Structure 1
Amino acid sequence: MLEALGIERSPSAKGCPHDSAVDESADGIPRAELARREAFGTTRELRARLSDYVHRHDNFRIHSTLGYMSPVEFRKAGPSLPESSK
């Protein structure tokens, strides 16, 4: 999916698992919620749906680790996590 969108990954050093967990988790969400539920006829169609998905995820979907705010709301609120999610 990243290759289709022209995005280059920057993984950590070989044998360092720290990026892998975040990467697998981040990749798994759109894969489960978008890619496995739909078929795309063209790369353009994939890009449009992925763009919509990311927009909804960043602007409207709340996250418990962000104090039940969307990522956009969290960024606007400031750099620290609420005490309840630490």
Structure 2
Amino acid sequence: MDELLETLEIARSLSMKGCPYDNAVAEATYKIMKTEFVNQMNFQSLRHLELKLYDYVNGFNKHRIHGTLGYMTPVQYRQEALKKVV
């Protein structure tokens, strides 16, 4: 797989192969989306799904605080982290 990625000039977006932590974060995120979003809705069309998904992700990132992020939203957390780098 690594050779194929190199051939296509694609960089891995997460850490190296076999790192269980990346998978755990992804699985936790999918579980939240399923229980809070997918299982609570009936979508009338693909466009309806797109609009509702956009609203959900926007709210999740900009308005919902997360305990693991020091009770900040993901957007706030990123902004604070960037301030420390600069």
Query: Is TM (by shorter chain) over 0.5?
Result: yes
Q: TM-score under structure 2 normalisation?
A: 0.68
Query: Residue 49 of structure 2 is aligned with which of 46, 51, 58?
Result: 46
Higher gyration radius (CA): 2
Distance in 1 of aligned mates of 2:74 and 2:21: 22
| Deviation of the 1:16 alpha carbon | 5.8
Higher relative contact order (CA 8 A, sep 6+): 1
Q: TM-score under structure 1 normalisation?
A: 0.68
C-alpha RMSD of matched pairs (Å): 2.2
Moved segments of 4+, more than 4 Å:
10-13
Q: State, as a whole percentage, how many aligned pairs show the same letter.
A: 41
| Deviation of the 1:20 alpha carbon | 2.7
Matches for 1:11-50 after TM superposition, within 5 Å: 13=17, 17-50=20-53
More helix by share: 2
What 5-or-longer segments of structure 2 have no aligned partner? 1-12
Pair 1:77–1:16, CA change in 2 (3 A): closer
